[in-house]
């Protein structure tokens, strides 16, 4: 985010406050409270181990979670649900195991690249990364083949317990519709808006992102379904 963009966001918040409209910072907190009240705890990310969460974060790209679960079940049955094991599988074997997740030939390369990164970086044991600054790990992950910002941040938050807010298409859609974000805002702008508005908490970031996903799947779709939406009230819209 440029200095100019940061200033624009700050001025936007000040103007909103001056008009007496719902404050952006407080609105973000209220939206979380309302979503939690309406949907309850999401207990996300599903996964029995840190390695399973990392693997799932890669496989979930461009597919639904049901397909990911089928692929993970295949890896479990093959005793291959570990970063070290994945790094040693042949391309044909790994592709076959993760086929249910879709785009399996592409994901085979991406998943292998992630597995090889962790094997090289910490001998396949993510717990060894606790002393590494989050910004450094994020930069390294973004340098791995096939890892974008959403995947990197999902790994950092859900698997490694780092305080970084995950942004996805659901976040951008809800944020823009409710006036939290502008059409000019990109991933990093959105991440900073949420992180600057919330208590620095892994649990909070985790739950909030999961609740936004739930909202996006059930109500805040590309063609919005506002009837019955828990956020269909003036106090959840910055622009009135």
Whether residues 151 and 181 share a domain: the answer is no
pLDDT, position 26: 82
pLDDT per residue over 43-93, tens digit each?
A: 999 899 999 999 999 999 999 999 999 999 999 999 999 999 999 999 999
Whether residue 91 is found in the same domain as residue 175: no
Kindly state the average pLDDT of the residues 164-193: 96
Q: What is the pLDDT of residue 239?
A: 62
The structure's pTM equals: 0.88
Instruction: Say whether both 171 and 152 belong to one domain.
Output: no
Structural domain count, the chain: 2
Residue 32 sits in the same domain as residue 71: no
Q: Are residues 153 and 95 in the same domain?
A: yes
Q: Domain holding 154: CATH number?
A: 1.10.340.30
Report the C-alpha gap between 221 and 197 in whole angstroms.
Answer: 24
What is the average pLDDT value for the chain, to the nearest integer? Answer: 91
**Using one digit for the tens of pLDDT, what is the confidence trace for 12-54?**
444 444 443 345 668 999 999 999 999 999 999 989 999 999 9
Give the pLDDT score at 180. 94
Nearest to 111 by CA among 64, 164, 159, 51: 51
Average pLDDT over residues 126-140: 97
On whether both 35 and 54 belong to a single domain, the answer is no
pLDDT at res. 5 = 53
């Amino acid at each position: 985010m440029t200095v100019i963009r940061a200033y624009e966001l700050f001025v936007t918040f000040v103007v909103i406050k001056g008009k007496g409209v719902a404050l952006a910072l407080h609105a973000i907190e209220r939206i979380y409270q309302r979503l939690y009240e309406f949907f309850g705890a999401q207990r996300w990310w599903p996964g029995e181990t840190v390695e399973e969460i990392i693997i799932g974060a890669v496989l979930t790209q461009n597919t639904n979670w049901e397909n990911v679960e089928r692929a993970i079940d295949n890896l479990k049955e093959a005793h291959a649900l570990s970063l070290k094991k994945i790094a040693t599988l042949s391309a044909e074997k790994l592709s076959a195991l993760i086929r249910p997740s879709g785009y399996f030939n592409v994901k085979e390369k991406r998943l292998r690249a992630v597995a090889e990164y962790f094997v090289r970086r910490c001998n396949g044991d993510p717990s060894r990364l606790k002393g590494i600054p989050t910004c450094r790990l994020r930069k390294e992950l973004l340098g791995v083949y096939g890892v974008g910002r959403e995947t990197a941040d999902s790994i950092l938050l859900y698997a490694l317990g780092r305080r970084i807010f995950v942004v996805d298409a659901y976040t951008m859609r809800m944020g823009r519709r409710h006036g939290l974000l502008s059409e000019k805002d990109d991933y990093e702008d959105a991440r900073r808006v949420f992180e600057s508005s919330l208590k620095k908490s892994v649990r909070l970031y985790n739950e909030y992102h999961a609740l936004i996903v739930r909202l996006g799947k059930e109500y805040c779709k590309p063609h919005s379904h506002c009837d019955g939406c828990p956020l269909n009230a003036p106090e959840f819209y910055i622009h009135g």
